[in-house]
Amino acid sequence: MSKIIINYYNLNEYEDKLRFVVIPSKHNGKWVFVRHKDRTSWEFPGGHIEEDELADDAASRELKEESGAKTFKIKPMCNYSVNRSGKVNYGRVYFANIEELGDCQVFEMDEVITVDKLPENLTYPIIIKSIINKISSMEK
C-alpha cells in the first residue's frame, strides 16, 4: 500500500493546481455519504473540476449530481493536496449543509445515506478522516 501524505493550505494557495473538489456535507445534523454504482464503499460527494469551470461551480454541481441535494448552503474551507508515493493532486474542501435531498440515482451514484458516525467501508478512509478532523478544527 502506498504512503499517503495530506497537506492543507489557505484558499488562495495552489489555486492554479486545483483539479478536484470534495464536499463533506450534513443533512439534518448527520453526515452525508454516497456510494458510486461501480463501488461497494462510501465517500463524500465530490469530483473533478471541468475545463474552464470554477471550483465553486464544480462543488455545487458535484453536490447536486452525487447527493441529489436540491437546496443547500455551501462554503469553501481550504485547499489541500494528497501525495501518494510522490504523485501529488490538489483539491478544495467545501462544507455543505443540505436542506433538501432529492433523487441521487440520476448520475453515477447508486445510494446516499445520512449517518451519525462514519461508515465502516470508506473508499478513502485516511483522507476522509483527515478532512473531518480538519473541518472540525476550523469550526472551533
What letters, b where the CB count within 10 A reaches 16 and e where it falls short, cover 89-126?
ebbbbbbbbbeebeebeeeebeebebeeeebeebbbbe
Strand 87-101 relative to strand 18-22, pairing: parallel
Domains of the chain: 4-138 (3.90.79.10)
Render pLDDT for 28-70 as a digit per residue (tens, 0 to 9): 999 999 998 888 899 999 999 999 999 999 999 999 999 999 9
In DSSP terms, 69 is beta-bridged to 101
pLDDT greater than 70 at residue 107? no
CB atoms under 10 Å from CB of 27, counted, come to 19
What confidence tier does 114 reach under pLDDT thresholds 50, 70, 90?
very high
Q: What is the pLDDT of residue 70?
A: 92
Distance (Å) of CA 76 to CA 27, 64, 86, 109: 17, 16, 26, 23
